[in-house]
Chain A
């Protein structure tokens, strides 16, 4: 597959749009309270937080082709570990984040050894089964709150003096984390490792014949993908001062799959768009349709699976409303099923 990512106008165009989006996100808090209510900052924050996880999800599901139906386990672990560390150890956000990353690295390594034995449906089952274990544990373990979860989590500090309980520092912290995550994910995708992952998605046998140890690479991307989820969970524990066991729930894992599919997997930008759509549309629909909004979201999702399996990025690139967009979401670094 031609990789037009290396040099050429596509990249410079994409850089331009990335920079523009980043600029908008950086300037967004300035308009808060003047142009729109503070509520939209909270909404954007949710997108930033889940966006980090979705980048990791895309590395695994979109690039390597292994859809995880239990990604909430990394998210939940990141949230629980961070919340516990802020309560009992230190109020530094870094301590919580590193501990979460550490535990998730162990989980990702151990489970990676097991899930790597399976593909497609069985991979979905295994990831589902393991996340189920975490849900059951969190739900019945009194020490970490049982069914109530952890409540009244103290707000962590970025550096002594700057509390992340304040909206603005937390916004920029999350934005910074997402930017780093995006940069890392983009580096991975464009690396040799990333190209081999795409190869595994298309034809694992051939990748093996070329001498690559594909199970090792799958384990590696599974672990990396989990680390993205961990950071996301840590930030969520900071955003909302409670961690319920539902952070491990199947329905959350399902929502991640939905975000990925709606946006279009294997593009990095797609899952981010999917996250934004699900969160913004969810808010919009819930004000307009009251309780019926989830029904409409589910319906939209069904329509998307039936008529545009490649997600919204595909629709946009098909419509080619603007050449710029189509170049951004176009052939650049996607690997559709065509082989």
Chain B
């Protein structure tokens, strides 16, 4: 493997990893703070992708999709949280998983009814098509944008969690919800906002994936699968864990596809099994 192939594969891996971070971190934080294992998180990604696809097809404007799809999915997330998820606060975690599993069934079949079973791809603006020469490496322009954009968004999320006034109750909530409540913070409002924001970020990831790869009614399962593996590797409820886990998974996928095509999924599984055996609760578990 020459140096330039190595760098190309590395870039591909980091780009995919950054996108996975957007998905997995939401799942992980919602779990850590709210005790809700949201299986429908992958459905939010998928619905974001389909909404974005429709907006682009109707208006022809990619940026409009980028802005509006997350808003629509945030609204949906808010409704789901208010009507259903909020009823299960304080109950056992498996029942939240069962609820959201049912929801994901509803969503994936709604997608099948509304958009049919065929595979689509979100149309990119012309300046995002083609390749760019990065110090001798030819890399797709859009992927470069995805890499930069995802890194910025992940950075903003990290700053929000670690530095902002709103991030404090969330971080504290990971450890001790009752104390947070005792300080006069309405944790249920924090829950709602958190759920809505995480749904919106999932939708952003959906638009990105829909433009980078393809959208189909099975993608929700694929993505929740990835997110669960990331969380198993990184540890539940940890933002850092989701970040590192996603990067590991993205790189493993890219290098696995390069070294042994067809066995890329094995590499991710091997890593997961290894982590589970050595550290059953993940690399950075907060629980």
Contact = CB atoms under 8 A, between A and B. Distances in A.
Contact of B98 (A117, A257, A295): A257
A262 to B, nearest CB: 10
A294 B109 contact: yes
A12 B143 CA distance: 69
B84 interface: yes
Nearest to A118: B280
A131 B76 CA distance: 31
B136 interface: no
Interface string B160-178: 0000000000000000000
Interface in B237-287: 262-263, 265-266, 269, 272-273, 276-277, 280-281
Contact of A133 (B84, B273, B281): B273
B60 interface: no
B87 interface: yes
B199 to A, nearest CB: 17
Contacts of A305: 88, 95, 98-99, 102
Given A120-B94, A124-B94, A302-B106, A295 B228 contact: no
B281 A122 contact: yes
B110 interface: yes
B109 A292 contact: yes
A298 B92 contact: no
A132 B276 CA distance: 14
A136 B92 CA distance: 30
Interface string B42-85: 00000000000000000000000000000000000000000010
Given A257-B98, A306-B87, A129 B276 contact: yes
A291 B112 contact: yes
B269 A309 contact: no
B37 interface: yes
B266 A254 contact: no
**Residue with the greatest number of chain B CB neighbours at <10 A, chosen from A125, A128, A299, A309:** A125
Interface residues of B, number: 41
A67 B92 CA distance: 12
B153 interface: no
Given A67-B94, A121-B94, A306-B87, A129 B229 contact: yes
Interface residues of A, number: 37
Nearest to B232: A125
B102 A301 contact: yes
A309 B95 CA distance: 8
B102 A126 contact: no
B119 interface: no
Contact of B106 (A120, A124, A298, A306): A298
A181 B280 CA distance: 34
B110 to A, nearest CB: 6
A240 B161 CA distance: 52
Interface in A123-157: 124-126, 128-129, 132-133, 136, 139-140
Contact of A117 (B93, B94, B105, B280): B280
Given A294-B112, A301-B101, 15 more contacts: A67-B94, A114-B276, A117-B280, A121-B93, A124-B97, A129-B229, A129-B232, A132-B269, A133-B273, A254-B105, A257-B98, A297-B105, A298-B102, A298-B105, A306-B87
18 contacts: A67-B94, A114-B276, A114-B277, A117-B280, A120-B94, A121-B93, A121-B97, A129-B272, A129-B273, A136-B265, A140-B265, A250-B225, A258-B102, A301-B98, A302-B84, A302-B106, A305-B102, A309-B95
Interface of B: 37, 84, 87-88, 91-95, 97-99, 101-106, 108-110, 112-113, 221, 225, 228-229, 231-232, 236, 262-263, 265-266, 269, 272-273, 276-277, 280-281
Q: Which 5 residue pairs across A and B have the least CB separation, nearest first? A: A298-B105, A301-B102, A298-B106, A295-B109, A302-B102
